[in-house]
Structure 1
Amino acid sequence: MIPEAAGTAGDGSAVPEISVVVPARDEGERVAATIASALAAAAAPDRVEAVVVDDCSAPGRRPRITDVADRRRSRVIRSDHHLGVGAARNLAARHARGRLLFITDAHTRFSDGWDHEAARLVSGDRIISVAVRDQTSDWRGHGCRLVVPYMGTRWNTAAPTGPEPHVQIASSAGTVVDSALFARLGGYDEGMVHYGGFEPEFSVRAWRSGAHIVHTTAIEIAHRFKPPDECTTFLGAARTAMVHNCLRFGTLHLPESMILEMVRLHALEYPDHIQRALAMLQQRGAWQRRAQLEASLPYGFASFVERFALLDQIGRPVPQQ
């Protein structure tokens, strides 16, 4: 069961056990439906709050929460400039009161009793990755795996097995983490921009910090994936940021001998974006951040490679240095 309230908020209400963290940009009424689902499916809705960051949405597309009861359990924090996914999540986490953070998207639906399972499964150093289902089909994703040296990810379409079913990368639509651990890890990397790569980098950094990511099918999130035409438009606008984020991710964690190959792969695939992405990489201090991580994290990227017997994307061993 979810533990009893440890105290009360200033208004006399119970301090929430779980904070649902939702970054939202131009999501409008979808946010209200997500929050309504989280509260309706919760075993103990009075112990759940929603913290929404309105990431500089257009006036007509700002998050709208119309139900009075849902508004009472929700807070919307508006940013007047575009933060991007990582910084928006971090801002929400700083305002969250719950012991646990359930990080999701603005267009999701929750399975029954999700809060009970989250409280049962999360421990101090254990991050939970939940199953993600497409709202329009039977497709399910079970966390992701890393593609190196490209630094993209692929969904796991089969659930991992075993007493501790580890996954390399948690899903941004369903990551559950102790708020103290999230703070200790430093949240998501704000050196990345706007969209793409945030969850993989956070996950690898978590593994290198000594945390571990365990998958569960006891919680399922139904996710609205963008239809093809909407996806094409969105990715076209975000492409330079996404190339930069992949390059930054690799610069922070890959063996130096693989970084040049990573750059070459992106230059071949995205020749119109690589020059600007490389300039952003320098401007945003990627190499300085790499040195900081090497000095502060107890484990190197080699420990991640060893744990998952990681090979590169054409099946070769990943270099140790």
Structure 2
Amino acid sequence: MTAPFGAPLVGNDWSAALVDPPAPRRVSVVVAHFDQQAQLERTLAALARQTHPTDLLEVVVADDGSPEPPRVPDGVRLVRQEDRGFRLAAVRNLGARASSGDILCFLDADTAPEPDYVARIAALPSALPDVVAVGRRRHAELDRADPAEPVEEAGPRLELPEPTWLADAYRASRDLLDADARSYRFAIGAVLACSRWLLDDVGGFDESFDAYGGEDWEWAHRAWLGGAGLAHVPGAVAWHDGPDWAGRDEAERRARKNAETLRLMGAVGAPGALGGSLLGQSADVVVRLERAASPAAGAVGVVELLRAMPDARVVVPEQVRRALPPDPRIVEAWHGPARVDLRLPAPLLVRGAGPQALADAVRAVGVGDLGGVRLGDAATAVASRAVARDRRWGRPTGWRTEDRSGEGLEPVPDEPDLEAYLGGWWPRT
């Protein structure tokens, strides 16, 4: 897969791209809509006033089966899908497929952008096509404004509070420059932009999401695992008509938010997403045991690893898997997503400082430009996002590998005394 333009991101450092912005590229704005004609008209009017070159701007309205087709002006493309309930993920994918731009900018019909929104949010993915850019969604009572009033004037005049948790997260992470594996929670689908190249590689929004919320976080998490960078662009402002979700009815908000969170628990394997005790369809860490001299050696190594990392999946040779009792964490192969691959040439005793060494390595990789950690000859932790980005570019993209001590990680004998191990009298600690 050949990169169409731009340069590879190194780690998550997109800051240099802001110094010398690239030439504008063709941008497709996909506006998701359902039965919101007045709000749609305000958003389309705002898009007609963008500073991004007109000949490089395409607008596609993707309608999620409104009772009546929305009215759009000449030059705006309309695509529709039948009404089968709330299908925001599917309608965003529909709009993306119907568009032709190098950069995809997703908006909702009730979220009207300021005049320089497209130019600002498209700049980073135009220079660094691995970047997922998130704009600043502000809130206002726009239904009280004259439809002809520019949104950059009506918004500040009728402003409602911004979500504090989101502003705090952007501030603490330096606008996601310090993003990590849980920063997908700060990607808001109504103000999101990425390159078509990245979207094609990681796949579109998960269309199994058929209720409000969560589809943007699932996609952002999947994009992160696929080597994407995350960036918040505070100057790219779009105004949402109405309060933030947190400002709505408490009982309804909590019930719907809980439903969204439960849906994400099964789809996202990031640290903490499952409460530290449940297994989902995604894994945070996959351990790959390359060989074992005997089933007993493999059994000791698997027990040691799962004691140190209870929620990991362990891929083992077939002879080891057959010898062990059934456990959903022990598999012959793993083809699902995972944040870290921990590669072991042979089974290990994890003693003393060993558990901490493994935990520190697993926690560190994939953050900043650290793509891998070698723990002596015992184990290597590799970030899946580093592998994915190098694959996408067809060459190394600047990830570092760090050598650390493998203290506390000792080889298991080829034929250990398994009864003594399970009985607790070997090895002595």
TM range (shorter): 0.5 to 0.7
* CA 193–4 in structure 1, closer or farther in 2 if over 3 Å, else same: closer
Task: Check conservation: 2:30, 2:59, Cα contact below 8 A.
Answer: yes
Letter in 2 for 1:196: G
Which residue does 1:107 correspond to in 2?
Answer: 110
For residue 104 of structure 1, give the secondary structure of its aligned residue in structure 2: strand
The aligned runs of 1:81-230 (5 Å cut-off) are 81-82=84-85, 84-122=87-125, 123-135=128-140, 136-137=158-159, 139-140=161-162, 154-157=165-168, 159-160=170-171, 162=174, 165-167=177-179, 168=183, 169-226=186-243
Which residue does 1:24 correspond to in 2?
Answer: 33
Give structure 2 stretches of 5+ with no counterpart. 1-20, 141-157, 281-328, 343-361, 369-429
The aligned runs of 1:50-89 (5 Å cut-off) are 50-59=59-68, 62-65=69-72, 70-82=73-85, 84-89=87-92
Q: Percent identity?
A: 22
Supply the distance in 1 between the matched residues of 2:160 and 2:107 (Cα, whole angstroms): 20
Task: Check conservation: 1:103, 1:173, Cα contact below 8 A.
Answer: yes
Which residue does 1:46 correspond to in 2?
Answer: 55
Which residue does 2:266 correspond to in 1?
Answer: 248
CA positional deviation for 1:106: 1.0
Letter in 2 for 1:222: W
For residue 337 of structure 2, give the secondary structure of its aligned residue in structure 1: helix
* CA 37–254 in structure 1, closer or farther in 2 if over 3 Å, else same: same
The aligned runs of 1:261-280 (5 Å cut-off) are none
Normalised by the length of structure 2, the TM-score is: 0.50
The aligned runs of 1:231-246 (5 Å cut-off) are 231-232=248-249, 242=260, 244-246=262-264
Supply the distance in 2 between the matched residues of 1:44 and 1:33 (Cα, whole angstroms): 20
Task: Check conservation: 1:23, 1:53, Cα contact below 8 A.
Answer: yes
Letter in 1 for 2:29: V
CA positional deviation for 1:257: 7.0
Supply the distance in 2 between the matched residues of 1:216 and 1:256 (Cα, whole angstroms): 26
Supply the distance in 2 between the matched residues of 1:171 and 1:229 (Cα, whole angstroms): 14
Task: Check conservation: 1:99, 1:178, Cα contact below 8 A.
Answer: yes
Task: Check conservation: 1:193, 1:245, Cα contact below 8 A.
Answer: no
For residue 79 of structure 2, give the secondary structure of its aligned residue in structure 1: strand
Which residue does 2:404 correspond to in 1?
Answer: none
Counterpart of 2:336 (choices 293, 308, 315) is 293
Task: Check conservation: 2:188, 2:216, Cα contact below 8 A.
Answer: yes
1:277-304 alpha-carbon deviations (Å, 9 max, x no partner): xxxxxxxxxx9xxx64337x7779x569
- State which structure, 1 or 2, has the greater radius of gyration over its C-alpha atoms: 2
CA positional deviation for 1:166: 4.5
Task: Check conservation: 2:85, 2:210, Cα contact below 8 A.
Answer: no
Task: Check conservation: 1:56, 1:80, Cα contact below 8 A.
Answer: yes
Supply the distance in 1 between the matched residues of 2:366 and 2:244 (Cα, whole angstroms): 37
1:221-245 alpha-carbon deviations (Å, 9 max, x no partner): 1112358899549759957853552
Two-structure CA RMSD over aligned residues (Å): 3.8
For residue 191 of structure 1, give the secondary structure of its aligned residue in structure 2: coil
| Structure with a larger share of its residues in helix | 1
Counterpart of 2:367 (choices 292, 307, 315) is 307
Task: Check conservation: 1:166, 1:215, Cα contact below 8 A.
Answer: no
Task: Check conservation: 1:52, 1:76, Cα contact below 8 A.
Answer: yes
Letter in 2 for 1:102: C
For residue 37 of structure 2, give the secondary structure of its aligned residue in structure 1: coil
Supply the distance in 2 between the matched residues of 1:4 and 1:141 (Cα, whole angstroms): 31
* CA 87–137 in structure 1, closer or farther in 2 if over 3 Å, else same: same
Which residue does 1:273 correspond to in 2?
Answer: none
For residue 29 of structure 1, give the secondary structure of its aligned residue in structure 2: helix
Supply the distance in 1 between the matched residues of 2:273 and 2:161 (Cα, whole angstroms): 37
For residue 193 of structure 1, give the secondary structure of its aligned residue in structure 2: coil
* CA 246–228 in structure 1, closer or farther in 2 if over 3 Å, else same: closer
Letter in 2 for 1:114: Y
* CA 258–224 in structure 1, closer or farther in 2 if over 3 Å, else same: same
1:27-79 alpha-carbon deviations (Å, 9 max, x no partner): 222112111112213332332122122112233xx4332xxxx4313323243
For residue 49 of structure 2, give the secondary structure of its aligned residue in structure 1: helix
For residue 119 of structure 1, give the secondary structure of its aligned residue in structure 2: helix
